[in-house]
Amino acid sequence: MENFAQYGFPYPDDLLMTFIGGSQLHGAKLQARDDTDWYGVFIESPEHALGLDGYPHFVFTTGGQRGGNRPHDVDVCLYSLKKWAGLAAKGNPSVLHFLFARPEFETPGWHEFAQDPVPFLARTHVKSFLGFANDQLRRLLNQRSKDVNRPALVEEHGYDTKYAMHLIRLYGEARELMEFGRITLPRPDADHLIAIRNGRYTLTELRELAEQLEQEAIRASERSALPERVNRAEISSRVTRACLSHWEKRAQRE
């Protein structure tokens, strides 16, 4: 298990699960270019969960330089279980990955969430996926901001190819989630995503592909077997059971 205390995370014994995300999660990591992205879920102490000052989120990076992180850099993003569950219930694409990623570390307390993700899934999540993807497409086409580009990639290919890869990935994930109620990780079209990263497509071709995938995702949502809304009562029940069980076991250890 990765030692998250070395990054300043003060509650390593309260972790429920961790996994490596980013391009490696999706099968599109380029070893000579990409950093390592760690994600995870932990349970807050009773004092944080019930008291005035919560601890919902921990973020750390060794990078942050302009132009993107380097291969030796590490990013860490950890959520409290309650924070994670709330974001997942809203259909946040990055947070839903937690349910389908292969953990590097997990406890029995996480198993209940991963073995049955259905309460967290809904047809309306397609809006979140397409909203994220369309926002990234506008950024890529410089309709919103010029600050997202990695200068080296822009100089080589004319646009940020890594950014382009992730937005196309989002469209594909939206369609798969609507059709099958899951997100396959690593992505089954990883070779295609790597080709995008390597600049094999023009911006015009990517825009046309994005429009095609968006329509496919919308049609998939219209015939999806997923429920209309997430099961908030079941999600709340699971979060409550997990926290109470964890606190009881911690009290016994202490």
Q: So where are the chain's domains?
A: 122-229
Helix, strand or coil for residue 23?
A: helix
Q: Could you tell me which residues are beta bridge partners of residue 34?
A: none
CA distances from residue 154 to 38, 134, 159, 184 in whole angstroms, order as listed: 26, 20, 4, 30
Mean pLDDT of successive 10-residue stretches along the chain, which has 254 residues: 94 97 92 85 96 96 72 92 98 98 96 95 98 91 61 86 94 98 97 95 95 98 97 98 95 86
Q: Report the amino acid identity of residue 21.
A: G
Taking Cα atoms as reference points, which of 32, 26, 16, 42 lies closest to residue 108?
A: 16
pLDDT at 149: 58
Region for residue 8 given its phi and psi (left: phi exceeds 0; alpha: psi -120 to 50; beta: otherwise): left
User: Coil, helix or strand for 234?
Assistant: helix
Residue 254's alpha-carbon distances to 4, 15, 106, 247, in angstroms, are: 21, 17, 21, 10
Q: Which pLDDT does position 84 carry in this prediction?
A: 98
Any residues with CB less than 8 A from the CB of 159 and at least 6 apart, and which? 140, 149, 153, 203
